[in-house]
Amino acid sequence: MTHHGRQVPDHLLIRIAQRGDPVSAVSEDDARRRSIAYPKLMWGAPVFGHAEEVAGRWRILSLSGDHPQGSRDALGSHFRRLRGRTPETADHAAERREYQAAIRLLDWEVVDDLTVHGRRYRIIRVQPFVRMGPDGPEPPRPTDPDPYPTGQTRDVPPPEDGFVIDPAATTGLSDGLLRIEMAPAFYKAGIVPDEIQADSHRALVTHPNVVLLPVVFTIGEYLDQTWQPRSAGTYPTPQAARDSAAFRFSDIVPHEDATLEEISAAYTRALEEFKAPRTDEFEIKGVRCRVTRVERFVRIGPDGPEGPRPSDWDPEPPPELHCQQLREQGLLPELD
């Protein structure tokens, strides 16, 4: 996949180029050092999003779900916004009908690939992973951008929004080598349930290449002699992760039988008292925490990025179907 012949399909290419500028040189040196210091790659649970095909390339609109249905719901919301921005004129009536039909389809059925108003959309599957070393997970690298001051990261957009998934784009040496390493990677038998392992192995055939997504960050904590996630999600910059590290629900509940008013007061006090750190290592209530670097990739096949797998956890049905099921069980009132 690393050679440049015209006969190689774009979805199989990994183009590596040496970049001579100083910033790239420092970034490559950081990557080399960290691959030695943090040699073990630990995969996390997949995340899901929706993408749009534009001029033969897929562009990520959002990564918004821990399971596929959450991303289908988000895609439905995307079509609602498009419908809302479409003029209510005769010239645009057909376009509005297409958006409305897509919304209804996603409200009732499990759909991962559809075409609306001449554009293809897909629910995509993204695999996060963290580098681990003897001292725990990899912290941010010196070359990772961190431009925002403490407390001013709330409106920073996710770095993957609008990201174009282009397997044929030129990449640096370290990212190219990482793609070569990830392309044949799959769950080994005995580590995960058989159906998950089988899907993982099958993906090597259906989606044989990988593309790296922009790096994000989270907070890890050291509890019971092991590192585990503290943050519920990931954040676009190291400081955004630090700003999120204030506390969890369990941190602020004053006692087991606390009332809603007591919990609200404790939450207010915690907000007032918390001062987001600027370092990558800090303690919260005596617990060691670390800003953790999260890398991600999406698998690519001849028809674009990989969608959800049959074995992926997907507990919720589409929203209207779910409501119908609840009404049939007597858990929701019947509609007039």
Q: What's the rounded Cα separation, in Å, for the pair 19 and 178? A: 17
What region does 257 belong to: left with phi over 0, alpha with psi -120 to 50, or beta?
alpha
Helix (H, G, I), strand (E, B) or coil at 17: coil
> Which pLDDT score is estimated for 318?
94
Residue whose token pair is 């055939």? 205
Q: Are 69 and 314 in contact (CB under 8 A)?
A: yes
Q: Which amino acid is at 93?
A: A
Quote the DSSP letter at residue 317. P
Q: Which amino acid is at 52?
A: E
Helix (H, G, I), strand (E, B) or coil at 99: helix
Closest CA to 82 of 55, 116, 122, 111: 116
Kind and range of the H or E run holding 28: helix 22-37
Q: How far is CA 194 from the centre of its chain?
A: 24
> Which pLDDT score is estimated for 67?
96
Q: Which amino acid is at 174?
A: S
How does pLDDT run across 204-252, given as a tens digit for each residue?
A: 999 999 999 999 999 999 999 999 998 878 999 999 999 887 666 677 7
Crossing angle for the helix pair 68-85 and 93-108, nearest 10 degrees?
A: 160
> Which pLDDT score is estimated for 278?
87
> Which pLDDT score is estimated for 1?
52
Quote the DSSP letter at residue 201. H
> Which pLDDT score is estimated for 290?
96
> Which pLDDT score is estimated for 331?
79
Q: pTM of the predicted model, to two decimals? A: 0.90
| pLDDT mean values, one per 10 residues, the chain (336 residues) | 65 88 90 96 96 95 94 97 96 96 97 97 98 97 93 92 95 95 92 95 97 97 92 91 78 82 85 82 89 98 97 94 86 74
Q: What's the rounded Cα separation, in Å, for the pair 334 and 331? A: 9
Q: Which two tokens stand for residue 147?
A: 């431009």
Q: What's the rounded Cα separation, in Å, for the pair 286 and 163? A: 39
What region does 55 belong to: left with phi over 0, alpha with psi -120 to 50, or beta?
left
Closest CA to 230 of 298, 294, 316, 296: 294
Between strands 113-116 and 170-171, the pairing is unpaired
> Which pLDDT score is estimated for 270?
78
